[in-house]
């Protein structure tokens, strides 16, 4: 078979990453004096890694995850309130298989969004389906379909995905309808998928966030906390780290 014919055959087998570069791969293989099996490995590895790269890029785009926040870039020395080994456990993805939830509490700038997004990116890399919303965005989605119970909305990403991240819960107070929709959302995901929530308000303030509704707040917390990893990040704001002396908030940086 000529190279062109081989490429056509590979295309029909959907080996799209390597069909166009088969000639180069064969040349490199000859230079390295590879055995046939080594050459096959070279081709298959190129095909596989090319596909993985594309899959991850596409999934990241669909997830709505903001860019530029990876677990690998988190500075644990700056934020000792975050236990590295607990985050690294989450980074293995085991919590997703167990449908555990993760809650990050703390004031602005301590890394709640960074850690959530970092875990989301890791989950995508591991092959899980992920969606990221701010609480405001999620509520807007839920309100658009308010007449259908959330548990029946099986095709919606916020129901079916393995991981849903809800960032910034508590910046805005929810009204009664929003509280009810949020409860339905939590109930629909309960034991079916993992949810990560970040909040600047501690659990004892959640009644105020959820329209003063004690019953709904308890029902929400009951399901969220049943299997949950909780992080209370009381620490310095990474955003304000260069202004701490100015703000007289704590030890100066460096």
Q: Tell which one of 23, 80, 108, 250 touches ligand ADP (CB under 6 A).
A: 108
Residues sharing a CB contact under 8 Å with residue 203, sequence separation 6 or more, in sequence order = 105, 221
* CA distances in angstroms from 139 to 35, 55, 69, 175, 177, listed in the order given: 58, 28, 24, 11, 10
* CA distances in angstroms from 15 to 62, 85, 129, listed in the order given: 24, 39, 24
Q: Is 63 in the site for ligand ADP (CB under 6 A)?
A: no
Q: Is 199 in the site for Mg ion (CB under 5 A)?
A: no
The distance from CA 111 to its chain's CA centroid, rounded to whole angstroms, is: 14
Q: Of these partners, Mg ion, ligand ADP, none, which one is at the site of residue 69 (CB under 5 to 8 Å by kind)?
A: ligand ADP
Q: Is 238 in the site for ligand ADP (CB under 6 A)?
A: yes
Q: Tell which one of 29, 59, 102, 112 touches ligand ADP (CB under 6 A).
A: 112
Nearest CB to ligand ADP, comparing residues 29 and 199: 199
Rounded CA-CA distance 182/169 in Å is: 11
Rounded CA-CA distance 204/166 in Å is: 19
Q: Of the ranges 38-46, 97-105, 106-114, 127-135, which one interacts with Mg ion (CB under 5 A)?
A: 106-114
Maximum Cα–Cα distance across the chain = 75
Rounded CA-CA distance 150/159 in Å is: 7
Q: Of the ranges 68-76, 143-151, 154-162, 187-195, which one interacts with ligand ADP (CB under 6 A)?
A: 68-76
Q: Is 120 in the site for ligand ADP (CB under 6 A)?
A: no
The distance from CA 51 to its chain's CA centroid, rounded to whole angstroms, is: 20
Q: CB of residue 29 vs ligand ADP: minimum separation in angstroms?
A: 42
Nearest CB to ligand ADP, comparing residues 19 and 117: 117
Q: Tell which one of 17, 59, 113, 184 touches ligand ADP (CB under 6 A).
A: 113
Q: Is 113 in the site for Mg ion (CB under 5 A)?
A: yes
Return the DSSP state at 96.
Answer: H
Q: CB of residue 148 vs ligand ADP: minimum separation in angstroms?
A: 31
Q: Is 186 in the site for ligand ADP (CB under 6 A)?
A: no
User: What residue ranges bind Mg ion (CB under 5 A)?
Assistant: 113
């Amino acid at each position: 078979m000529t190279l062109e014919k081989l490429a056509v055959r590979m295309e029909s087998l959907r080996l799209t990453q390597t069909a166009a570069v088969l000639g180069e791969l064969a040349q490199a293989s000859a230079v390295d004096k590879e055995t046939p099996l080594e050459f096959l490995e070279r081709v298959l590895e190129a095909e596989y890694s090319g596909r993985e790269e594309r899959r991850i890029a596409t999934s990241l785009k669909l997830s709505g995850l903001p860019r530029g926040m990876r677990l690998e870039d988190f500075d644990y020395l700056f934020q000792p309130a975050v236990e590295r080994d607990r985050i690294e456990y989450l980074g293995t993805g085991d919590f997703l298989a167990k449908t555990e939830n993760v809650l990050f509490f703390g004031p602005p700038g301590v890394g709640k969004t960074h850690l959530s997004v970092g875990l989301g990116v890791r989950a995508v890399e591991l092959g899980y389906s992920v969606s990221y919303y701010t609480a405001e965005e999620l509520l807007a989605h839920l309100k658009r379909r308010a007449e259908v119970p959330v548990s029946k909305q099986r095709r919606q990403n916020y129901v079916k995905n393995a991981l849903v991240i809800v960032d910034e819960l508590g910046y805005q107070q929810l009204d009664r309808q929003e509280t009810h929709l949020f409860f339905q959302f939590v109930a629909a995901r309960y034991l079916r998928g993992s949810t990560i929530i970040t909040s600047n308000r501690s659990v004892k303030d959640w009644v105020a966030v959820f329209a003063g509704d004690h019953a709904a707040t308890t029902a929400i917390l009951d399901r969220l906390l049943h299997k949950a990893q909780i992080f209370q990040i009381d620490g310095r704001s990474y955003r304000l780290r260069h202004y701490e002396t100015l703000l007289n908030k704590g030890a100066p940086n460096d």
